[in-house]
Amino acid sequence: MLRQFLRKGDEMVSIFSTTDLARLIQGYRFYAKTEGKSDETITIVANSVGYLENFLRSEGLPTNVTQIGSREIRAFILYLQQKRCFRGHPLNKTQERGLSGHTINCYLRSIRAFWSWLVSEEIIEANPLARLKIPKAPKKVIRTFSDVQLEQLLSVIDTCTAEGYRDQAIILTLLDTALRVSELVNIRLDDLWLEEGLIKVMGKGGKERFVPIGKSIQRILWRYINKYRAEPATPNCDFLFLTTHGRPMTKDRIDKKMSRYGEKAGIKGVRCSPHTLRHTAAVRFLRNGGDVFSLQRMLGHSTLEMTRHYCELADVDVKRAHATASPVDNLTLKHGWSKMRIVNEAARHRGSVMSSRPRNLDCPQSDYQGMPKIVKRARRAPGPQGTSTRKVSPSVV
């Protein structure tokens, strides 16, 4: 259907003949679908604009897009910053904590995308969010699983059962490939190339890529398919991971199972979720010597900017890496100054200089103490026949 219409009396009225938010959301869904946007992206944008519409109606503000300006958007931002989690939710109780900065940022970016679409369709002339500064999401260090936590998580899974072996295969596959859980549940048998050690994955935006798997995962998946995979409920169901009833596993089902296993294992201090496995896989890949460009291809990121965040997560290993790759420690100096001689000379002069340091120096005491250690040692370097080359004020001489 090229155009959607609503009946009003005897005339057909296009959804674009009005500038009310409720009707325009329908139009956005239709256009975004034809542009190839994913269902998840469309839902996020439509829901975010719906939240804005509900807020405007509750406050008696206009819902006509031609009358909505930066003032109304700022009021909505303030409302989000003061809102408590799950307030007004039909199923969940209101919590004391407010919405996270990431949630607010996601709402506003989605609304900005919707208004950009309105401008592109010439429904409005200017985007009120174009000059509005959206609050940045806070940058937090994402916690990943430790070796002990991974061992605890896997130890509570009963791999003697078909369900337990499947769950273990899912967790280890996510850990080995750093896949999104939405990508994992859509893997079909034809996408799995066990002999070559590859999985064909359909990522965000319809971008297809090949992700390598290790030999351990090859063996685990082969055993799962040939011994533990349930009989499909329908003949055309060829998804890799199935429930015990033969239906495809879903993202929510895996989320709940991970959370349940985490509680059973007593894992604290880190969110037990499939996405945490993705973070853990990315950081471990870098720590084990993988390069950032290969990681970018594995994760399905379009730019290195997104992958750079995982490099920051791996920064905890910088001290350990510097201990073995220190430029000065590995420097070969002329005149026979070896690494051990540098260390020994530094230790010897530390005691002798401190005991014989004159009271008056060329520079103020505070300035001298603030100098880098290398500069201090240079000024205290031994002169000929063991005499000190330091400058001493005339009063001391």
Active site includes 204?
yes
Q: What is the DSSP letter of 146?
A: -
Q: What is the CATH number of the domain that holds 166?
A: 1.10.443.10
Catalytic residue, candidates 107, 165, 261, 310: 310
Higher pLDDT, 106 or 101: 106
Return the minimum-mean-pLDDT range out of 24-28, 340-344, 362-366: 362-366
Q: How many domains does the chain have?
A: 2
Residues 356-385, mean pLDDT to the nearest whole number: 45
Task: Give the model's pLDDT for residue 360.
Answer: 46
Is 185 inside a domain boundary? Answer: yes
Confidence class of residue 364 from pLDDT cuts 50, 70 and 90?
Answer: very low
Both 187 and 106 in one domain: the answer is: no
State whether the Cα torsion 230-234-235-239 is positive or negative.
negative
Both 304 and 205 in one domain: the answer is: yes
Catalytic residue, candidates 229, 257, 278, 279: 278
Domain with 65 in it: 5-120
Catalytic residue, candidates 204, 271, 349, 380: 204
Is 226 inside a domain boundary? Answer: yes
Please tell me the distance from the alpha carbon of residue 126 to that of residue 120, in angstroms, as a whole number. 10
Q: Which amino acid is at 387?
A: T
Give residue-wise pLDDT tens across range 150-171.
999 999 999 999 999 999 999 9
Both 281 and 159 in one domain: the answer is: yes
Active site includes 390?
no
Is 386 inside a domain boundary? Answer: no
Pairing between strand 11-14 and 5-8?
antiparallel
Both 54 and 160 in one domain: the answer is: no
Q: Which of 320, 345, 368 is the last residue of a domain?
A: 320
Return the minimum-mean-pLDDT range out of 62-66, 79-83, 124-128, 331-335: 331-335
Residues 388 and 380: beta-carbon distance below 8 Å: yes
Task: Give the model's pLDDT for residue 302.
Answer: 79
Catalytic residue, candidates 23, 209, 253, 275: 275
Both 69 and 194 in one domain: the answer is: no
Higher pLDDT, 306 or 234: 234
Active site includes 335?
no
Task: Give the model's pLDDT for residue 3.
Answer: 38
Confidence class of residue 324 from pLDDT cuts 50, 70 and 90?
Answer: low
Question: Which tokens sit at 70?
Answer: 């930066």
Active site includes 309?
no
Q: With 80 as the cut, is the pLDDT of residue 80 above it?
A: yes
Confidence class of residue 196 from pLDDT cuts 50, 70 and 90?
Answer: very high
Q: Which of 320, 335, 359 is the last residue of a domain?
A: 320
Is 195 inside a domain boundary? Answer: yes
Higher pLDDT, 122 or 220: 220
Task: Give the model's pLDDT for residue 334.
Answer: 53
DSSP H or E run through 193: strand 192-193
Q: What is the CATH number of the domain that holds 108?
A: 1.10.150.130
